[in-house]
Chain A
Amino acid sequence: MKAVFFTGKGGVGKSTLAAAAAWQLSRSERVLAVSLDPAHNLGDVFGVALDDRETRFTATLHLREVDVKKRARDYLARETRILSETYGYLRTLNLDRCFSILEYSPGIEEHALLTSIEKTLREANAFDTIIFDTPPTGLTLRFLALPEITLTWIERLTAIRRQILDKRHTIQRIRGPREGGGASPEIRLAYDEGEDDILKRLRVLSDNYAALRRTLQGEACRVVAVFNPDLLSLRESERLIGGLRDLRLPLSLLIANKVTEENRATAERVTSALKRQAGRDVPVAAVALNRAFGLGGDTPLYDIAEDLTAHFKSGGNLHV
């Protein structure tokens, strides 16, 4: 199984090209196209109504639009349940209502997106390729950076936690066994690494995020940057490529979209500037602007003349 992420500035044609690539690939393999953009238009490109469940478009092409709000709600519902179980005596109070505000916390949306990628990669074993249509650059870079940031935090918190347990152990050893069961609160506290709930939870989180980071940085994950032949698109794509490099997510294809006879010279300049930044060995594809789309012709949006499949056929497989 391979995963391909279509990234780029808003409006450059990520969804259209993701749909086109999915459509072309689905002629020879089983493909799942997933939209992660909160402002979905994957369904619009295919002319069907989509939701959080997989929808069969053809026998080999399935589509889905991730409901980020629902993911955030599900996640918070689960956390609220754990909280209510831990603080059983508070069950009579309306905790759900108090926690609903967390839905608007910064970070929850990125986390929900990341969780849905992880879940999709884990569960979509019936497909050969999964194509992700991502939100515009800013949000995409934020959620792709999340495993790295989270792992750094987990690492630091684990170190402090270990220090706490180590010192608790020291206290326990110095004090020695007490007579008459008069144990002080410190003695009753967990000092063994296997007994401490916080450390156990940190370990689980660390394992999950490390696995996800391995998957994202692995051979079978491809990132495609879509851009238009204009200055704004160039600047944002440069930031995207820089951001991806910082995250050690190598770019595997650059696609210049909406290329016409008039802007061909600009397209070449923009492409060579991005190629210089991305590396000489990153392949480039150019997709011509189809004026018939704007005029509402009969050709479906996803049916483009250029063949994008060759770039996705090789490479390793995902092991999630």
Chain B
Amino acid sequence: MTAAELLRCCRRILADFNDAQRESLVSLTRLEVQELENIFALLLLGSFVGLPAPPGFLSVELLPFMEREIRVLHRRAEDAGDMLAEIAGTLGID
């Protein structure tokens, strides 16, 4: 292995390590964003599940732009049974 190849290999390892570190940093924030999106949708459309809701027209006004939030809400509802495992996974707890 030439010196140039070794250098390239080292650079690649460092770059991948950098990416992995960034992804691990992002994963918690990403979970937070999804939770916030879930809360946003739940507050706005809570009347669907029996929660006190804002004035009806406010939900109707924002409904056309809520596709992603509704999807997140749906996914969260499906994962709700195993939220502890998900949080443990994100925080790296074995």
Contact = CB atoms under 8 A, between A and B. Distances in A.
Contact of A186 (B30, B55, B61, B62): B30
Contacts of B67: 86
B43 interface: yes
A160 B61 contact: no
Nearest to B60: A79
Contact of B61 (A79, A105, A106, A146): A79
A210 interface: no
24 contacts: A75-B57, A79-B64, A85-B64, A86-B65, A102-B56, A106-B56, A107-B56, A108-B57, A111-B55, A146-B55, A153-B54, A160-B39, A160-B40, A164-B37, A167-B33, A167-B36, A168-B33, A171-B26, A174-B26, A176-B22, A197-B65, A198-B65, A198-B66, A201-B65
Given A153-B58, A160-B43, 8 more contacts: A76-B60, A107-B55, A110-B55, A154-B58, A157-B43, A164-B37, A171-B30, A198-B65
B63 interface: yes
Interface residues of B, number: 28
Q: How large is the interface on A (under 10, 10 to 19, 20 to 34, 35 or more residues)?
A: 35 or more
Given A111-B56, A153-B58, A189 B29 contact: no
A198 B54 contact: no
A211 interface: no
Contact of B57 (A107, A167, A168, A186): A107
B32 interface: yes
Question: Main SS of the interface on chain B?
Answer: helix
B58 A164 contact: no
Interface in A102-122: 102, 105-108, 110-111
Contact of B64 (A82, A108, A186): A82
B41 to A, nearest CB: 10
Interface in A175-224: 175-176, 186, 189, 197-198, 201-202, 205
Interface string B28-59: 01101100110110011000000000111110
